[in-house]
Amino acid sequence: MIIKGLIKTTFVDYPGKIACTIFLFGCNMRCGFCHNPDLVIDPTGKKYESKTYTEEEILGFLEKRKNYLDGVCITGGEPLLSLKIDFLRKIKQIKNKSNSNYSIKIDTNGTFPNKLREIINEGLVDYIAMDIKGSKEKYKDIVSFPVDMDKIEESIRLISSFPQYEFRTTFLHRFHDENEIKKIMEWLKGLTQNIGKSDNNNPNINNNPNINNNPNINNNPNINNNPNINNNPNINNNPNINNNINKNNINKDNKLLNYYLQGFRKSDKLMDESFFSEKEVKNSNLIESQRIASEYFTNVGIRV
């Protein structure tokens, strides 16, 4: 795990929280429009010579800021490529004066569902943001790398049953239009439509450890008074749990939770120089795409 960057304070990276952002080196995709090519590959081969942070430096920083920051965002690159789970455990052990620990947000491209599940199972993440690059058919063109779409779909299912999450798409004219956004929406809907329904066969619910961290469930006396529930493999047979998920958490109004559209913007560095000539996205495209996505998601935002 190579920590290549730290933003000490951010008001925008973690919705609703004052956070810091940690950047991990390395990614298994090669999106031409990537704004952080230095975090993906190092053509100079000098990655260890440029400024990096040790884990101890970051943990020391977090210890000092524990009464001022609420959250830690971990991004990249693709953070799950190298993120050490023990590093997350150490972050979670830091307590502020109110005896609260840091909320952790993880950004991912969705190619490491097993590692994500492990982190979820240990309660080491509080918010997950996953890039949806395009419709299933477009993926390989957009990321310029072979992608295991089964893993992407597994991550989508896993994340959509998590209490706090967002999916997000960077809109580029060469890949996206309103029809493409519609295709993305139908794909996500098809993958997740059983989630949140009273469905005892739903693996996302069956294996979902976040049930225990869900305040809607934790506040339910029928659940709290059941000493066996945390270890009970039949947790899905308990209607109190299924009803809570249905009403409050996963599929409010039968929709997914949060989706963000980001219009492509040029930056000083891009992975593929041909994207310097890419047209900036018009607001009208984003607004129409937002309207389409709103039929599938409870909250749809545009980030500029």
Q: Rule CB under 6 A: which residues touch ligand SF4?
A: 27, 29-31, 34, 36, 40, 76-78, 109
How many CA atoms lie less than 13 Å away from 297 in the CB half-sphere?
26
Write down the least CB distance from residue 131 to ligand SF4, Å.
6
Residue 95 DSSP code: B
Q: With CA atoms as reference, report the closest residue to 152 among 127, 135, 166.
A: 135
Write down the least CB distance from residue 58 to ligand SF4, Å.
20
CA dihedral 136, 180, 204, 144 (to 10 degrees): 40
Write down the least CB distance from residue 239 to ligand SF4, Å.
40
CB-wise, 65 or 176, nearer to ligand SF4? 176
Write down the least CB distance from residue 183 to ligand SF4, Å.
20
Write down the least CB distance from residue 217 to ligand SF4, Å.
33
Residue 293 DSSP code: H
CB-wise, 212 or 267, nearer to ligand SF4? 267
> Cβ-count burial of 300 within 10 angstroms (0-12 exposed, 13-18 middle, 19+ buried)?
buried
Q: With CA atoms as reference, report the closest residue to 210 among 247, 245, 251.
A: 245
C-alpha to C-alpha distances, 38 to 7, 50, 209, 222, 304, nearest whole angstrom: 16, 10, 35, 51, 22
CB-wise, 127 or 139, nearer to ligand SF4? 139
CB-wise, 27 or 184, nearer to ligand SF4? 27
Is residue 76 a contact partner of residue 36, using CB atoms and an 8 Å limit?
Answer: yes
CB-wise, 73 or 211, nearer to ligand SF4? 73
CB-wise, 86 or 280, nearer to ligand SF4? 280
Token pair, residue 197, equals: 């329904």
CA distance 130 to 80: 12
CB-wise, 89 or 265, nearer to ligand SF4? 265
CA distance 187 to 258: 16
How many CB atoms are located within 10 Å of the residue 103 CB? 20
Write down the least CB distance from residue 78 to ligand SF4, Å.
5
Write down the least CB distance from residue 230 to ligand SF4, Å.
35
